[in-house]
Structure 1
Amino acid sequence: MTKDINFITKTKSLIDNLKNVCANYGLGNSASEFDIITQCFLYKTLNDKFRYEVKKITPELKNEESEKIIEYLKTLNEEDYKFLLASLDPNAPKLQIHQLIEVLFNRQTESDFALLFDDTLAEISNHNAEIFSVKSFSGAKDILFDRLSQNIKDVSQRDAFCTALVNKLIAVSFEEMFDQKYDFFATIFEYLIKDYNSDSGGKYAEYYTPHAVARIMAQIMVQTPVKGVKVYDPSAGSGTLLMSLAHQIGEENCTIYSEDISQKSSNMLRLNLVLNNLTHSIPNIIKTNTLAQPTYLDTKFDYIVSNPPFKLNFSDFHPDLDKDAFKKRFFAGIPKIPNKDKDKMAIYLLFIQHIMFSLSDTGKAAIVLPTGFVTAKNGIEKKIRERLITNGWLRGVVNMPSNIFATTGTNVSVLFLDKDADSEHIVLLDASKLGETVTEGKNQRTVLKPTEEQLIVDTLNNKLAVEDLSVVVTKKEIEAKNYSFSAGQYFEVKIEYVDITADEFATKMKTFESNLESLFADSEKLKTEIQNNLKGLKYE
């Protein structure tokens, strides 16, 4: 545990140091700072991942430092080096000796170091594009690295800027991280992206889902071992939900697919995949408008998780959705364009329908939704709920505590779908009273205790009715309640009866009568005072 805490502390320190470099060269809080931080972080990760993989296939280097490893690599001739690269894990980065951070560090006094730094990153991008590039809907691939020195307008400062970055990167090793699991790295990744979500405008989940929610969703969805499954998120953001689900399944047992309209989110997801031994899924990351230009429309998935944007103006591509090819997908309809407040269009309703359409024959899904969805009396919301009940796909609903998302005050619920659901034992759980409030910066957030997380998971997985927490209902009972998915509408009203004697009853009644007489007397007195005051005002 101490080792883990020390490593987290060191990594957070590196992130802070990179931010300081940006600030010292006039790029603090600039639009380019995020790209610089994440790309440097990615370069460092690929560098240390390469060294880690080399050690795995060369046991005699297991306990050697970087200098010894570089010395060894330099002894290899061209053919031997090619053989070494071919022997690495297929998902490992393929780097040349001169591309390693340690080599760059020793060349930082050379003239035009910024050019050397940029060229090195460009080479890595080109040589590893097949594995590490994110694709767009058109099929075009992005590049791993930009020419970072170009962010410095003063040409004379570029060498010093790149030198400062390399000096920060070489100061810490990430090798030990590759033996760790997702839950260990979650804190680091959240720290990395926390300062870069305030300007997102809420577009396509450019925020991270709380890890407690992600863990609950994963543990409810996956109760038994599975292999060779396809996992999908149509609004992936930074990938918190996907990582948690992959961790629950086993990274080697699943392939991840994702879509998201944001380049920033796609880059964060790519980094998350590298850090969590899911590099093999990077080619499946697609930057696209999932609703209007879906890449995976004809693909069916075994597990789907999503925390879609709730409200968003999609009026510009509204006509693209209302076409014959999408009629079956959007069976319940497309929200109309309002005359005002277009940014409040309920885009999440389209994502729910898209997810339902994308499930395999035995597919399971967990979706974060505004709680208002579970009780809406009509409209698209009710049509979707009706279809879920008619098809027998609803497994359960968890109403989460308010403010569990620090970035939104909207109350949320998690909808659990399963094409093999038990329609006689649907669990509706109200967790709104759980958790404790903590302050994070300017925001207040509700945090669940580990025992509370486990209570939610066990209650739903074991189909338990727990007093003041959950009910277990049937498909017919939900139909009788106008398809409401709210646990509160199914809780029994409890009336407590207390046995008392006739004398005790008479005493209580006398007390009530006395209290009422006193209240009436006070009321008459107040009435007289008001009337006198009004008369006084009348004659002034």
Structure 2
Amino acid sequence: MVVQDFTANTKDLIDNLKSICTSYGLGNDGNEFKIITQVFLYKFMNDKFGYEVKQIDPSLQTADKWEVKINEYSDDDYEMLLLQLSPDSAKLKREHFLASLFEKQNNEEFAKTFDDTLRDIAIFNNEIFSVKTGTGAKITLFDELSQFVADPSQRDNFCKAIVNQLVNFSFERIFEQKFDFFSTIFEYLIKDYNKDGGGKYAEYYTPHAVAKIMAACLVDAPVQNVTCYDPSAGSGTLLMNLAHAIGEDRCTIYSQDISQKSTAMLRLNLILNNLVHSIPNIIQGNTILAPYHKEGDRLMKFDYIVSNPPFKLDFSEYHADLLASNNSERFFAGVANIPNKDKDKMAIYPLFIQHIMYSLTSKGRAAIVVPTGFITAQSGIERKIRERLVEQKMLRGVVSMPSNIFATTGTNVSILFLDCANTKGDIVLMDASKLGTTVKEGKNQKTLLSTEEEQRIIDTFNRHEAVEDFSVVLSYEQIAEKNYSFSAGQYFDVKIEYTDITPEEFKTKMDDFKANLSNLFAESKSLEVQIEKALEGLRFE
């Protein structure tokens, strides 16, 4: 009950922050998501700091206000306290505390004090909490949030309203909660800011069911000290589910995404889910043109890769660079041609599949969301990729999902599973398209899988089960014989139902068939005569 109440209270906090933004002309503004997510993060860090220092110094637990008690520390004692903090907690100076801001809210130029505080926190924690661009530039934690209020005379009041909202709330009771709790909070926090209205590089939020199935099918046994990578990470839904399946303390996250907004959200997701140690590996940049993660001169190889890449995107501006000889090994199947028109419909997802294949370790595994058309395409780059997956024995299986599993796109999708150690075959192809319940989400239809249906997919896949009209288990040779089709339906047996009858029953049925045919033939001849007479009666006038 405590968790349910706290979840409701947290959502109320988020809604109240949005209400403040609306009151100051920032509702649905392009910068609203920065204000909401960064203010939320500042509050989370402040309370996480308080929680951590209370574990280090129990006397702070009994103090009426831990911020007042901690101000009695000498500078040396405070420095020692900071050194004892866990590496996933932000280090705060005493003037950074929310309580300190609250006391200063009636001072002149409070907006500047507010912005300076957040900026100083970002600088103080720059080495751990900043993310990098592909060129190595660092993107710090916080922006100057008051600048987004157009009227300078309202900025102090705006910052006061934010601070007064934050002091009435505390995260301290829930820091022992795990992934499932924070994933729900994170989804609610960003639900209005991760949609398909973002222009050229639109972000799509991967449904929880898809992310859960991908992670559970990839991680079917305990592992440790592994690397996890997403070359089109978005806000990190797939990576968070994968890390949770492995264990947040048993894996290191790597990612790259071209969207600055999504990269900032991914950083927040890592902080909420105890994966701060991986923030230095989060890169904002173009994976296809300039992949960042390398070991020496070669691209880094990863143990686990997940991806829900964009399916179509105009990449004509760097198309020529992708055709360079140094990319021939990575893009072995080729690069899509530039069409004369509709460049936005250039298929970019095959480049991500090829990049992922190239980036797996010798025992690496991957799960990739692809348009279902990929699994049966009879020519072109898609066909070449499928042939390579079979010839190099990398294919682990395919799950074809129900229509509208993504509310934001009508494209049917499948999940492609790769396993470089799957050399013996035993490939599972599954048609889960008939599962789920259709519901209305805004103007769109969306298919929701029940918990039982999700588990059915996971169990059938991991047990290598063949289930009538649902899944088949095949060898690489069988797939090659079927023209490299990855569609389960093409391997289902055609069923002919037989019914036992006696000779007398058979004779009766045959006599009925003959009588019916005789009647039909007689009727046909009658119609022929009528038609001929009608034709003879036709005259030209």
Report if TM-score (shorter chain) is over 0.5.
yes
Aligned to 2:162: 165
Change in Cα spacing, 1:539 to 1:274, as seen in structure 2 (3 Å) is farther
On the 8 A contact 1:132/1:144 being kept in 2, the answer is yes
Match of 1:210 among 207, 210, 214: 207
Aligned to 2:53: 54
Aligned to 2:336: 335
Change in Cα spacing, 1:63 to 1:72, as seen in structure 2 (3 Å) is closer
On the 8 A contact 1:402/1:412 being kept in 2, the answer is yes
On the 8 A contact 2:196/2:202 being kept in 1, the answer is no
Match of 2:227 among 225, 230, 241: 230
Q: Which segments of 5 or more consecutive residues in structure 2 lack a partner in the other structure?
A: none
Question: CA shift at 1:512, angstroms?
Answer: 5.9
Question: CA shift at 1:156, angstroms?
Answer: 1.4
- CA distance in 2 between counterparts of 1:405 and 1:529 reads 58
Aligned to 1:35: 34
Question: CA shift at 1:520, angstroms?
Answer: 9.0
Change in Cα spacing, 1:539 to 1:18, as seen in structure 2 (3 Å) is farther
Aligned length: 537
1:135 has 2:136 as partner = no
- CA distance in 2 between counterparts of 1:461 and 1:486 reads 18
Change in Cα spacing, 1:507 to 1:302, as seen in structure 2 (3 Å) is same
1:328-477 equivalence runs, <5 A: 328-477=329-478
- CA distance in 2 between counterparts of 1:526 and 1:205 reads 63
For 2:127, what is the secondary structure of its paired residue? Answer: helix
Deviates most, 120-129 or 2-11: 2-11
Question: CA shift at 1:423, angstroms?
Answer: 3.4
Q: Which segments of 5 or more consecutive residues in structure 1 lack a partner in the other structure?
A: none
- CA distance in 1 between counterparts of 2:340 and 2:239 reads 36
- CA deviation vs aligned residue, 1:415-456 (integer Å, no higher than 9, x gap): 111111143311111111111112222222111111111111
Change in Cα spacing, 1:284 to 1:515, as seen in structure 2 (3 Å) is farther
Question: CA shift at 1:502, angstroms?
Answer: 4.0
1:67-146 equivalence runs, <5 A: 68-146=65-143
On the 8 A contact 2:196/2:204 being kept in 1, the answer is no
What is the identity, as a one-letter code, of the residue corresponding to 2:174? Answer: M
Aligned to 1:482: 483
Change in Cα spacing, 1:203 to 1:86, as seen in structure 2 (3 Å) is farther
On the 8 A contact 2:88/2:271 being kept in 1, the answer is no
Aligned to 1:493: 494
- CA distance in 2 between counterparts of 1:170 and 1:320 reads 52
Question: CA shift at 1:122, angstroms?
Answer: 1.0
1:8 has 2:11 as partner = no
- CA distance in 2 between counterparts of 1:282 and 1:456 reads 32
1:16-27 equivalence runs, <5 A: 16-27=15-26
- CA distance in 2 between counterparts of 1:390 and 1:130 reads 44
On the 8 A contact 2:13/2:165 being kept in 1, the answer is yes
Question: CA shift at 1:503, angstroms?
Answer: 4.3
Change in Cα spacing, 1:89 to 1:525, as seen in structure 2 (3 Å) is farther
For 2:438, what is the secondary structure of its paired residue? Answer: strand
TM norm structure 2: 0.93
Change in Cα spacing, 1:372 to 1:127, as seen in structure 2 (3 Å) is same
- CA distance in 1 between counterparts of 2:524 and 2:12 reads 66
- CA distance in 1 between counterparts of 2:530 and 2:23 reads 70
For 2:429, what is the secondary structure of its paired residue? Answer: strand
1:262-281 equivalence runs, <5 A: 262-281=259-278
Match of 2:292 among 280, 291, 295: 295
Instruction: State, as a whole percentage, how many aligned pairs show the same letter.
Output: 62
Root mean square deviation of aligned Cα? 2.7
- CA distance in 2 between counterparts of 1:459 and 1:414 reads 14
On the 8 A contact 2:393/2:425 being kept in 1, the answer is no
TM norm structure 1: 0.93
Question: CA shift at 1:397, angstroms?
Answer: 0.7
- CA distance in 1 between counterparts of 2:499 and 2:336 reads 52
